[in-house]
Amino acid sequence: MIKAWLISLAMTLVLELSYALFWGIRDKHDLRLTALVNVLTNPVVVFVYYFIRFRHLPVHYGWVTLIMEVLAVTAEAVIYKKAARTISRPWLFSLSANAFSYAMGELLNNIL
């Protein structure tokens, strides 16, 4: 499980920092902030998913993923709104960056 955490976090950091650069973020503070919020949220999302999966709890994993992603987007957007210097639309940035990294993660998981 630790290997899955580390791979997920590494992929998320690469994808979301790449997305931030694509978005036009060049401020070092905001790039570090992007990395930090993902270091804070990604392990929690992955832990909850695997905790429920390995406990074989009677829930639909799709719902768990959706709820956890919504919580991550919300937490990240709030942090961006309060602490970012150049991210002018923190909610849209958080939503689109997370959607991008989630979609790319699914694509890579299906390929590998």
pTM of the model: 0.90
Rounded to the nearest integer, the mean pLDDT of the chain is 92
Report the pLDDT averaged over residues 31-53: 92
Range of the domain at 107: 2-111
**Mean local confidence (pLDDT), 4-9:** 89
At 23 the three-state DSSP class reads helix
Give the mean model confidence (pLDDT) for residues 21-38: 98
pLDDT tens track for 76-99: 999 999 999 999 999 999 999 999
User: Total domain count for the chain?
Assistant: 1
Measured CA to CA, the distance from residue 5 to residue 43 in angstroms comes to 6
Better-scored residue on pLDDT, 103 or 58: 103
Cβ-contact 76, 94 below 8 angstroms: yes
